[in-house]
Amino acid sequence: MLSTARSDSIVEFQPSYKPLDDEYSSASQHALMSATRRELARNGWRDFDLGNVMADTKSGITVLDKKWGSTAELVVDSVLDIIENPTVEPTLPLTEQLCRLVDPIADMGRVSSGANLLRGLLTASTDQDAAGAMFRAFLNQTFRRPLKQILAEAAAAKKIRRTYDVDLAMEILFGTLWHRVLVMRAPLSEAAITRAVTATLDHLKA
């Protein structure tokens, strides 16, 4: 369904998270997530070995069971944990706002190890329902909501057409990056990021 532009002011894009219980915010949890990222960067999701993570941290399976319902959820949560929130100033040109919006993904994906983490995030989130729900909730809160506000402001200023599909814009903007990471199995280049932003703007102005 096409979304109608609104003239609401853009708010700061700071997703709110529930504070973790003391037990879950312990050093052992953070060590487990860090070890998970190392294993994922080395071997990817398909060859991910939870035993290596447990041996690396000397953790028991109880820690995993109390916080995560599956290995896929552990992997997804561990990668999302290090993706920063985008910082977008509404006074910037629209092109720059879109670039700033994808910066957290772009920054991670520019190097091979970061691209491996993103690839593992995407594949793990498609393999298990709860992990997928976790990833989609993160995308909605951290990227889709800010994008919706950016487009509403741009439409009100007549920089793009007044009717637009936010979800399609998300697919063009981020789908280009996912294609580079998943299909091409390559880090995110500046050219790929520029193409993603340009294609999104072309769609919104058509």
Structure confidence by residue, pLDDT tens digits, 68-115: 999 999 999 999 999 999 999 999 999 999 999 999 999 999 999 999
Give 168's pLDDT tier (boundaries 50, 70, 90): very high
Q: What is the pLDDT of residues 56-72, one digit of tens each?
A: 888 666 667 778 999 99
Sorted by sequence, the CB contacts under 8 Å of residue 174 that are 6+ apart come out as 102, 105, 139, 143, 196
Q: How confident is the model at residue 9 (pLDDT cuts 50, 70, 90)?
A: very low
Neighbouring residues of 169: CB distance < 8 A, sequence distance ≥ 6: 147, 151, 200, 203, 204
Q: Flag whether pLDDT at 202 surpasses 90.
A: yes
Out of 50-54, 63-67, 148-152, least confident range: 63-67
Per DSSP, 59 falls in state: -
Residue range 172-191: mean pLDDT, rounded: 94
Give me the domains of the chain, ranges plus CATH numbers: 27-70 (1.10.10), 81-205 (1.10.357.10)
Query: What's the rounded Cα separation, in Å, for the pair 136 and 126?
Result: 10
Residue 16 confidence (pLDDT) = 37
Percent of the chain with pLDDT over 90: 78
Indicate the SS3 state at residue 110: coil
Percentages helix, strand, coil for the chain (3-state, rounded to 5) are 65, 0, 35
Mean pLDDT, to the nearest integer, of 53-58? 88
Mean pLDDT over 159-169 rounds to 96
Report the pLDDT value the prediction gives residue 77, as an integer from 0 to 100.
Answer: 97
- Compute CA distances 67 → 61, 104, 123, 176, 189, whole Å: 10, 25, 21, 33, 35
How far is the CA of 189 from the CAs of 79, 105, 109, in angstroms? 20, 12, 8
Q: How confident is the model at residue 20 (pLDDT cuts 50, 70, 90)?
A: very low
**Residue 132: CB atoms within 10 Å:** 16
Considering the chain, what is the average pLDDT of its residues? 87
Could you give the CA distance from residue 177 to residue 83 in angstroms, rounded to a whole number? Answer: 15
Taking residues 31-48, report their average pLDDT: 96
With b for 16 or more beta-carbon neighbours within 10 A and e for fewer, the 168-190 pattern comes to ebbebbbebbbebbeeeeebbee
Taking only Cα atoms into account, the Rg of the chain, rounded to an integer number of angstroms, comes to: 18
Model pLDDT, residue 17: 35
How far is CA 68 from each of CA 35, 44, 59, 123, 178, rounded to the nearest angstrom?
Answer: 15, 19, 14, 17, 25
Residue 4 reports pLDDT greater than 50: no
CA 142 distance to own-chain centroid: 8
Determine the pLDDT at residue 107.
Answer: 94
The encoded tokens of residue 201 equal: 């703007």
